Each structure stands twice: as structure tokens, then as C-alpha cells.
């Protein structure tokens, strides 16, 4: 009787373990459908596809989109990244309200096709704010957000708050 009980217990454990397993093919599909933010300027990326995925994620998560255009060659692009790292409350405000997407601009890949949909860029980094449908809200020269050899916390906070979802965008 004890041996039968042990066998039944073992069978129950095996059954529970196999019920929770997802076939490998379905498991890959599930994990690949999760949005992965584009956090680096990569000339090999498909920027058009990245924008389409960002729009899809913005709709799903009720956020707007912050497109950062620049490149690994751009010292001010790296300063902007560092500024967000050094100001975690600002990064949290950004991440709570925006799907952030970096689009590479370099000799290797100027991403002309996707960037031609937006106003001309005079300097880098450049930020485009889009709504969750992909409509342009603001084309922002980051030079006006600078302070000395860095960025201005108050100005960046204001622009992120003003362009967050649900705000009246008068620009």
C-alpha cells in the first residue's frame, strides 16, 4: 500500500511538472513577442521596424514615444545617456511615460528613409516626441536643453512632463 501511494505521488509530481511545460517552439514565440527597448545606436538595426514596434508598444502601454537620433560618434549623445543615469527620477519619469527608441545616424547608416518622415535635424542628439499612434508632437533640438557641459534637469523635466500622455500638446 505504501509503495502504491509513493507511485501515485510520483506520478502526480511528474504530471504537474509536465502540465506547466510549454513546448519549445511556443516558448520562443512568447518571449520574442515581448518588446525590447532599443537603447543603443546600432547602424545594423532596421529603424523602420523599430519605430513600428515602438508604436505597437506605446499603444499597448499607454505611453508616448521618445525617438533619440544620434550615434556612437556623438559625445553629446553619451552625455544625455549619462545625464539620465545620474538623475534616476528623471529616467523614471521618461520610462513611465515614453517608449524610448534610439535611431542611428552615421556614415555607415543615415537611416534616411525613416528620418525623412520627420523634420530636418540640425544637430545631434535630436529628439522627436511622438504620440502612441506615431504622430509627431515635437521635434526637439537638444541644444536648448543643455547647461554648460551637460543638460539642464529643470528643462528636461518640463519637456518630459509636457509631452507625457494625456497632456494638451500645443507645440
Contacts of 86 (CB under 8 A, 6+ apart): none
Is 6 inside a domain boundary?
A: yes
84 with 5, same domain?
no
75 with 9, same domain?
no
117 with 71, same domain?
yes
Look at residue 60 and give its three-state secondary structure: helix
The CATH number given to whatever domain includes residue 99 is 3.40.30.10
- The pair phi, psi for residue 42, each rounded to 5°, is -120, 110
Is 55 inside a domain boundary?
A: yes
69 with 144, same domain?
yes
82 with 151, same domain?
yes
Is 168 inside a domain boundary?
A: no
Q: How many domains does the chain have?
A: 2
Strands 126-130 and 64-70: antiparallel
Is 120 inside a domain boundary?
A: yes
- The pair phi, psi for residue 162, each rounded to 5°, is -65, -30
Is 42 inside a domain boundary?
A: yes
Of the candidates 141, 128, 138, the one whose C-alpha atom is nearest the C-alpha of residue 99 is 128
Helical H segments across 62-97, by residue range: 75-86, 88-97
Residue 40: burial class (beta carbons within 10 Å; 0-12, 13-18, 19+): exposed
Of the candidates 127, 142, 133, 114, the one whose C-alpha atom is nearest the C-alpha of residue 47 is 114
Is 170 inside a domain boundary?
A: no
**What is the residue range of 10's domain?**
1-34
Is 142 inside a domain boundary?
A: yes
11 with 50, same domain?
no
Look at residue 23 and give its three-state secondary structure: coil
The per-residue pLDDT string of the chain (171 residues; one tens digit each, 9 = 90 and over) reads 544 344 344 433 333 333 443 343 333 333 345 889 999 999 999 999 999 999 999 999 999 999 999 999 999 999 999 999 999 999 999 999 999 999 999 999 999 999 999 999 999 999 999 999 999 999 999 999 999 999 999 999 999 999 999 875 444
**pLDDT attached to residue 33:** 53
129 vs 4: CA distance, rounded Å: 66
Is 125 inside a domain boundary?
A: yes
Amino acid at each position: 500500500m505504501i509503495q502504491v501511494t509513493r507511485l501515485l505521488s510520483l506520478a502526480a509530481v511528474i504530471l504537474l511538472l509536465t502540465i506547466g511545460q510549454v513546448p519549445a517552439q511556443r516558448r520562443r514565440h512568447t518571449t520574442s513577442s515581448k518588446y525590447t527597448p532599443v537603447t543603443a545606436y546600432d547602424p545594423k538595426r532596421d529603424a523602420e521596424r523599430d519605430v513600428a514596434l515602438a508604436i505597437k508598444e506605446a499603444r499597448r502601454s499607454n505611453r508616448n514615444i521618445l525617438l533619440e537620433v544620434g550615434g556612437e560618434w556623438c559625445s553629446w549623445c553619451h552625455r544625455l545617456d549619462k545625464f539620465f543615469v545620474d538623475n534616476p527620477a528623471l529616467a523614471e519619469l521618461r520610462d513611465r511615460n515614453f517608449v524610448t527608441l534610439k535611431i542611428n545616424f552615421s556614415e555607415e547608416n543615415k537611416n534616411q528613409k525613416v528620418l525623412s518622415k520627420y523634420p530636418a535635424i540640425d544637430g545631434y542628439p535630436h529628439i522627436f516626441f511622438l504620440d502612441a499612434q506615431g504622430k509627431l508632437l515635437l521635434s526637439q533640438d537638444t541644444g536648448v536643453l543643455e547647461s554648460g557641459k551637460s543638460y539642464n534637469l529643470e528643462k528636461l523635466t518640463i519637456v518630459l512632463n509636457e509631452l507625457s500622455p494625456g497632456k494638451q500638446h500645443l507645440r
